[in-house]
Amino acid sequence: MSRQSVAKAHQKIQELSWEPAYHEPVSQYGTDYTFRKAQKKDPLKQVLRSYFPMQEEKDHRVYGASDGAIRGNMFRQVQERWLEWQKLFLSIIPLPEISAARAMPLLFRTVPNPELHNGQAIQMIDEVRHSTIQQNLKRLYMNNYIDPAGFNSSLRNFQSDYCGTIGRQFAEGFITGDAITAASIYLTIVAETAFTNTLFVAMPAEAAANGDYLLPTVFHSVQSDESRHISNGYATLLMALADEDNHQLLARDLRYAWWNNHRVVDAAIGTFIEYGTKDRRKDRESYAEMWRRWIYDDYYRSYLVPLEKYGLEIPHDLIEESWNQIWNKGYVHEVAQFFATGWLANYWRIDPMTDKDFEWFEYKYPGWYDKYGAWWENYNRLSRPNGHKPIVFEDVDYEYPHRCWTCMVPCLVREDMVMAKVDGQWRTYCHEMCKWTDETAFRPTYQGRQTPNMGKLIGHREWETLYHGWNWADVVSDMGFVRDDGKTMVAQPHLDLNPDKMWTLDHLRKCPPLASPNVLLNQMTDDERTAFAARYVKGGPAGRPAPAEA
Amino acid sequence: MTTTQDSPKFERSVPKPVFTDAEAGAREFPDSTLRHYNYYKPQKRKQSHYEDVTVDVQPDPRHYLTQGWLYGFADGRGGYPLDWTALKAWGSDKPSPQRGPGTGGMIVKDWPATGWHEFRDPNEEWELTLYRYNSNVVRQVTQNVEAAKQSKAFEQWNPNWVRFVEQHIGAWMHVDHGLGLYLYANANRRAPTNMHNNAISVNSMHRIRAAQDLALYNLTLSEEIEGFDGSAHLQTWNNDPAWQGVRDVAEQLTAIDDWCEAIFAANVVFEPLVGELFRSQLVQQASPRNGDFVTPTVVGAAEYDFAERDLRYTTAMFELLTNDKEFADHNKAILADWLGSWTAKALSAARTLQPLWSQPDAKPPRFEDGLDRVKNRFSGILGSLGLEAPKELAQ
């Protein structure tokens, strides 16, 4: 279709919508937001007659590249260090994608603008595309990459593993609770508009640098749809801003959504990009540099700040604090170190860092070696079984962390840990903001205002609770992270596929039992708990226990 | 003497290819040959491509979701509650594992834990198939209309048929659009498995595409036929008494809370009794007699969507429930109730459409004959689901 005819066609399809005359459509999702019937136009201007062939053409390119990758033996040049982290990433991402599809109906009744619903329906089917095309990419990796373990058990792993659980917020947050908080602010305004830049643009670039050009092929194709979804969110946001009663809720939701996205996405993608790459050219961007470009400049300064004049309260403090966490407090490094500490609870292999890596980290993050260097040297030393236990049980100046009740990433920047008794249970939080999310934001009243539609944090949010007191061999067996010989673990703290160098359940059997930090916290007396918290916040960086009292 | 000197070679900073030999089969070790998704059981002997990209993406606390749902609505319920429909699949009444300190993951080994997870879309729809199919449809429809334009086919239409198309063919676009968005797309949030929700979302796109096909056809006709009123469909949909029965039922369908009832009422009752009556028994029959070979190709695309794809997954979905090893009787009783209620409404809507049969100059086969045909087909669909035709069918 010509450009002119697309515009005409789009105008014509506006005749399709109609106001009910006899029965209102079912209303199944609530919101505390109010909307005037503002004449907001469908920002997508998408007509299915051109949409379907466009997507089909994009598919041709993706699947053509997939064939090419196999015929051209791409996997002879793929870095295992990189592909191993894709076992985690590609186990997580199809669920957030499909959840975004499921989220669209939350907006039908709550945003009373039929013109926007057209764009939301197209987003729905885009998300079905993303979820299944990503499952397919993972299938291709499983079939063609040297080590299929972890890809072959992907969705089981994701659903029972603590890393998967952290990632799952990036799905369930879209489909529950207040419809606008979930499907608009959390999903489209923050997750898609801000963080898909690092997910679907920055990360694929790193994949290409590690010999994998299929991830960029698939994810850039996905990202070309995201730009349309961003328009959906923007149109809804402008409608919400038109009603002053919404401003307080917008401020709350932006704070929650921003902080949660930072905690979850920066933890995961930061780790993949910094610790999953073999590309240590000094002039390649670090995650911090990418974040500054994609999130701080492109999203915060170019997208959010201009909305301030319309009355949107921007969480400037949290954006600066996120940067502070990444740049000054080593958030990504702390997370990567924790993933590597807990390698035995995972379903991918984590390559030790080398001198070349150390040099790059020191160049990009001055002071890195003094904080993290010795620990990674120990990781390398302890990576092959040789009469010792996995690193988490050895004396390497690292204290196993407590977990954040809200974002479920552990409380790694020790000085920021806060504690509260909420809903009758003592909980630790990685930061004051995560405590606020649980204690204040996800509640039926907010600053004295009734918010009956706000969602709830539910579930067994501390993974260790389920396995409190278990032997580690039984934990790993129960989760199913075992290879087909019945004893070799899927996860390994190195990339050596020599079976003699791989850890097995027999090694784990000799380890101390798993102890849940949260169960232990709730067993403490008040005095013990106060002392614990005072000591915990003096710990770090790099997981170091607090210095002994003089 | 002159000397030649190589200019210093400028080397760009780019990642260097490295031979890693990380391809399948390069080494043997535990799991090195386990190259299939090992976390689900296929419906047939071999795992299909469709199953690989669909099954278990939407998790279930009765299976691997050991930490449970993490975010809930205000009432504390998260995920996809089974009681969002009154129908039940075996295992539905069994509680989820009660996990807590030291219980372990309590992964349900006897899987599937409920009959819901047995459903597979016989159309095996995923992104590759849905874009391929719908692209073919829109290309073919566009080409058909273009060919008709070239051959001046619309000049053969008599004025009465022009009015019929602008008003009544046009009015149906509203049914497709309303149900596509507010019934089907809405239901894609409601079902307990990814297989259901993906099939339903594809169904939704068929209907929205069909609505747009009609709207854009209407636009072309406005440009090609002098005096063709491109907005007449709005007046017809809003005010023509012959359409108010259809509109009433279409709106009632979007008001259904129970997602199974919505799909059942729309695809098992409304579409065969009203949709196919309108498309197959009226439009497809009357058009050629009135010199119109184009409209049937546009409407036929939607007819094929329903008859060959949407009804197919619907039948597979409800067959499982009417043959359920634990709840077949429970389900049949509820479906019988729904059948009685929706059959009466659909037939009433069908009958209000009857005046349309007398409007074209060249008449289609009699309304009653068409209605008998769709009733017969409807009874056949019910028979395949193991359901009795309701007494309301005699209306």
pLDDT per position as a tens digit, B288-339: 999 999 999 999 999 999 999 999 999 999 999 999 999 999 999 999 999 9
Q: What percent of chain A has pLDDT over 90?
A: 92
Which helix (H) or strand (E) covers residue A427, if one does? strand A425-429
- Pairwise CB contact (< 8 Å): B72 & A176: yes
**pLDDT tens string B219-237:** 999 999 999 999 999 999 9
Rounded CA gap, B52 and B50, in Å? 5
Residue A356, token pair as written in the block: 């070349």
Rounded CA gap, B22 and B104, in Å? 35
Say if B138 is an interface residue toward chain A (CB within 8 Å).
yes
Please say if the pLDDT value at position A513 is more than 90.
yes
- Pairwise CB contact (< 8 Å): A460 & B99: yes
Among A338, A403, A317, A362, which residue's Cα sits nearest to residue A325?
A317
Instruction: Please compute the mean of the pLDDT values over residues B41-50 and round it to a whole number.
Output: 96
Rounded CA gap, A147 and A482, in Å? 13
Which helix (H) or strand (E) covers residue A9, if one does? helix A3-13
- Which chain A residue shows the shortest CA-CA distance from B124? A132
Q: Report the SS3 class of residue A165.
A: helix
Is residue B108 very low, low, confident or very high in pLDDT (cuts 50, 70, 90)?
A: confident
Residue B150, token pair as written in the block: 């070239």
- Which chain B residue shows the shortest CA-CA distance from A174? B71
Query: What's the length of chain A?
Result: 550
| Residue B220 CB neighbour total at 10 angstroms | 22
Three-state secondary structure along chain B? CCCCCCCCCCCCCCCCCCCCCCECCCCCCCCCCCCCCCCCCCCCCCCCHHHHHHCCCCCCCCCCCCCCCCEECCCCCECCCHHHCCCCCCCCCCCCCCCCCCCCCCCCCCCCCCHHHHCCCCCCCCHHHHHHHHHHHHHHHHHHHHHHHHCCHHHHCCHHHHHHHHHHHHHHHHHHHHHHHHHHHHHCCCCCCHHHHHHHHHHHHHHHHHHHHHHHHHHHHHHHCCCCCCCHHHHHHHHCHHHHHHHHHHHHHHCCCCHHHHHHHHHHHHHHHHHHHHHHHHHHHHHHHCCCCCHHHHHHHHHHHHHHHHHHHHHHHHHHHHCCCCCHHHHHHHHHHHHHHHHHHHHHHHHHCHHHHHCCCCCCCCHHHHHHHHHHHHHHHHHHCCCCCCHHHHC
CB-based contacts of B224: which residues, under 8 Å, 6+ apart?
B149, B154
**How far from the centroid of its chain's Cα atoms is residue A40's Cα?**
31
Question: Looking up tokens 């100059």, which residue turns up?
Answer: B361
Please say if the pLDDT value at position A2 is more than 60.
no
Rounded CA gap, A110 and A122, in Å? 18
Rounded CA gap, A315 and A300, in Å? 10
Say if B143 is an interface residue toward chain A (CB within 8 Å).
no
Candidates B24, B135, B202; nearest CB to A143: B24
Rounded CA gap, B158 and B163, in Å? 9
Please say if the pLDDT value at position A418 is more than 80.
yes
CA dihedral B223, B226, B230, B232 (to 10 degrees): -170
- Which chain A residue shows the shortest CA-CA distance from B230? A12
Please say if the pLDDT value at position B395 is more than 90.
no
- Pairwise CB contact (< 8 Å): B127 & A129: yes
Single pTM value for the model: 0.97
User: What are the helix (H) ranges across A151-280?
Assistant: 154-160, 162-175, 179-180, 196, 203-209, 214-241, 247-261, 267-275
Q: What radius of gyration do chain B's Cα atoms show?
A: 27
Please say if the pLDDT value at position A548 is more than 90.
no
Q: Chain A residues with CB inside 8 Å of B178's CB?
A: 18
| Better-scored residue on pLDDT, A55 or A548 | A55
Say if B225 is an interface residue toward chain A (CB within 8 Å).
no
Using an 8 Å Cβ cutoff, are B88 and B324 in contact? Answer: yes
Rounded CA gap, A296 and A291, in Å? 6
- Which chain A residue shows the shortest CA-CA distance from B129? A56
Candidates B54, B101, B182; nearest CB to A465: B101
Q: How many A×B Cβ pairs under 8 Å?
A: 388
- Which chain A residue shows the shortest CA-CA distance from B60? A159
**pLDDT tens string A380-397:** 999 999 999 999 999 999
- Pairwise CB contact (< 8 Å): B202 & A146: no
Candidates B135, B173, B251; nearest CB to A52: B135
Q: Chain A residues with CB inside 8 Å of B238's CB?
A: 18, 21
Q: What is the ipTM of this complex?
A: 0.96
**pLDDT tens string A185-236:** 999 999 999 998 888 888 999 999 999 999 999 999 999 998 888 888 999 9
Q: What percent of chain A has pLDDT over 70?
A: 98
**pLDDT tens string A135-160:** 999 999 999 999 999 999 999 999 99
Say if B44 is an interface residue toward chain A (CB within 8 Å).
no
pLDDT the model gives residue A200: 84
CA dihedral A47, A48, A54, A60 (to 10 degrees): 170
Please say if the pLDDT value at position B1 is more than 60.
no
Is residue B244 very low, low, confident or very high in pLDDT (cuts 50, 70, 90)?
A: very high
Using an 8 Å Cβ cutoff, are A278 and A82 in contact? Answer: yes
Say if B233 is an interface residue toward chain A (CB within 8 Å).
yes
Q: Report the SS3 class of residue A520.
A: helix
Please say if the pLDDT value at position A4 is more than 60.
no
Q: Chain A residues with CB inside 8 Å of B257's CB?
A: 26, 28
Rounded CA gap, B219 and B233, in Å? 12
Residue B59, token pair as written in the block: 């998790």
- Which chain A residue shows the shortest CA-CA distance from B174? A16
Angle at CA of residue A501, ends A496 and A506, nearest 5°: 135
Q: Chain B residues with CB inside 8 Å of A468's CB?
A: 101-102
The residues that bridge with B11 in the sheet, in sequence order, are none
- Pairwise CB contact (< 8 Å): A48 & B138: yes
Rounded CA gap, A410 and B36, in Å? 33
- Pairwise CB contact (< 8 Å): B13 & A283: yes
Using an 8 Å Cβ cutoff, are A177 and A456 in contact? Answer: yes
- Pairwise CB contact (< 8 Å): B105 & A168: no
Say if B223 is an interface residue toward chain A (CB within 8 Å).
no
Round the average pLDDT of chain A to a whole number and report it.
Answer: 95
Is residue A132 very low, low, confident or very high in pLDDT (cuts 50, 70, 90)?
A: very high
Instruction: Please compute the mean of the pLDDT values over residues A494-515 and round it to a whole number.
Output: 98
Candidates B74, B138, B201; nearest CB to A101: B201
pLDDT the model gives residue A38: 65
Q: Chain B residues with CB inside 8 Å of A147's CB?
A: 29, 31-32
Using an 8 Å Cβ cutoff, are A441 and A270 in contact? Answer: no
Candidates A16, A56, A152; nearest CB to B211: A16
Candidates B21, B27, B66; nearest CB to A466: B66
Dmax (CA) of chain B: 111
pLDDT the model gives residue B4: 59
Q: Report the SS3 class of residue A375.
A: helix
CA dihedral B104, B109, B113, B115 (to 10 degrees): 160
Say if B46 is an interface residue toward chain A (CB within 8 Å).
no
Rounded CA gap, A21 and A48, in Å? 27
Antiparallel, parallel or unpaired: β A449-450 and B71-72: unpaired
**pLDDT tens string A477-496:** 999 999 999 999 999 999 99
- Pairwise CB contact (< 8 Å): B215 & A165: no
Query: B interface mutation test: which of A85, A155, A278 has the most B CBs within 10 A?
Result: A155
- Pairwise CB contact (< 8 Å): B255 & A117: no
CA distance B96 to chain A (A): 13
Amino acid at B307: A
Angle at CA of residue B284, ends B278 and B290, nearest 5°: 115
Please say if the pLDDT value at position A249 is more than 80.
yes
Q: Chain B residues with CB inside 8 Å of A101's CB?
A: 188, 197, 201
Query: A interface mutation test: which of B46, B67, B248 has the most A CBs within 10 A?
Result: B67
Instruction: Please compute the mean of the pLDDT values over residues A315-335 and round it to a whole number.
Output: 98
CA atoms within 13 A on the CB side of A167: 23
Q: Report the SS3 class of residue A534.
A: helix
